[in-house]
Every structure is written in C-alpha cells, then in structure tokens.
C-alpha cells in the first residue's frame, strides 16, 4: 500500500472521486489502483471516446476494446456540477491538448490539467493525435475569463533552471506573463 493510501486511511478519509484531467499516450494513470485501494469513482471528460478511438487505431486494439468511455465510472459534461463531500465542484471542458481535457473548479480554485503551465513555460501542446490548436486557444481564453484572483493549479511544471518547481498561478499572472498567450 502506498504512503498516500496509508495517509488517507490513517485520517479516516473517504475517497469519493478520482478526477482525471485528460488521457493520452504519454500518461499512465493510477486511477484503477487508487480505486482498488481506496474506492471512489473514476471520472473524466465526456470527450474521452474520441481519444479512445484514436488509441484504438494507433495501438491496434481489438474488437474487445469499445471506445465509448465505459472504462470510467462517470463522464463529465461541460458545466456539470458535482459534490465532493460538502464542496460543490464544476467540470469545465478545456479541449485542445486532447479532445477530453477537463478542468475542475472548486470555489476560487481551478485544477486545469495540461491546458496551461506556469507563465514562464506557456501552454500545452496541441500536436498529439486529436489535439487542436484552435480549441486549445479557446479553452485558454475560457479559463482566463475567470476573475483575476482565481487560483489555477497546474498538472506539472517544467521549470527553467533558475527557479524551483511551482504548481499554482492566478488568472492575473497568466494574463500578464504567459509566454504563449496574453489578454
């Protein structure tokens, strides 16, 4: 059992959701492992069948693989509201990096997946199978229309050598300093 599983069990917490922001060939998910250890429902954006269709062709997956999203417990639609304990959350569709990208908003915080990175790194790529630069631009604009103080949490950081890893930015910081997109 991982140290995270031990920590969750020690605090007697309940896992309700395992929230995926997106899926593509260079990401390995531990969602099924987490679910087997701690329970919860695995969710992703309702665009996942498009990604699965691409994977099916690329990896020669047989007829037994049905690209319909049924591998997940729930497929979130854009704007769908859901509960995590007493917190209300909102799914925000952010396609472009992949057709299934999804961000999750909790009050003034949005977990944005790979749509954007820290301002000095820029934005996600759109050259993976199913990626679309126009959709990515529109998704970034959608996120940057939130109030300036909205906190944005990144999936990863690829810092330049002169700064440490960071994981949080704001709409204001992104609008003013993102090297790829400014409003």
Can you name the residues that pair with 93 across neighbouring β-strands?
A: 102
**How confident is the model over 159-170, as pLDDT tens digits?**
888 999 999 999
Q: Which pLDDT value is given to residue 133? A: 93
pLDDT of residue 105: 98
Return the sign of the alpha-carbon dihedral for residues 153, 45, 158, 132.
negative
Q: Which domains does the chain have, with CATH numbers?
A: 3-177 (3.60.15.10)
**Tens digit of pLDDT for each residue in 89-128?**
999 999 999 888 999 999 999 999 889 999 999 998 888 7
Percent of the chain with pLDDT over 70: 97
Which segments of the chain are extended strands (E)?
17-19, 41-45, 74-76, 81-84, 87-93, 102-106, 109-111, 151-153, 168-170
pLDDT, tens digit (0-9, with 9 covering 90-100), for 135-145:
999 999 999 99
């Amino acid at each position: 059992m991982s140290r995270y599983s031990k920590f969750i069990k020690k605090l007697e917490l309940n896992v309700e959701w395992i929230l995926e922001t997106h899926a593509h060939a260079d990401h390995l998910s531990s969602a099924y492992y987490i679910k087997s250890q701690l329970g919860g429902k695995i969710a992703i954006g309702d665009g996942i069948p498009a990604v699965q269709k691409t994977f099916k062709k690329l990896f020669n997956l047989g007829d037994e693989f049905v690209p319909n999203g049924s591998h997940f417990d729930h497929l979130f639609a854009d704007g769908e509201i859901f509960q995590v304990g007493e917190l209300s959350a909102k799914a925000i569709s952010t396609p472009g990096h992949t057709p299934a990208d999804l961000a999750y908003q909790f009050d003034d915080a949005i977990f944005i997946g790979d749509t954007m990175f820290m301002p000095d790194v820029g934005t996600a790529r759109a050259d993976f199978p199913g990626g679309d630069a126009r959709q990515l631009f529109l998704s970034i604009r959608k996120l940057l229309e939130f109030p300036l103080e909205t906190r944005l949490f990144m999936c990863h950081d690829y810092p330049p050598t002169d700064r440490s890893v960071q994981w949080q930015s704001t709409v204001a910081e992104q609008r003013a300093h993102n090297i790829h997109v400014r409003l």
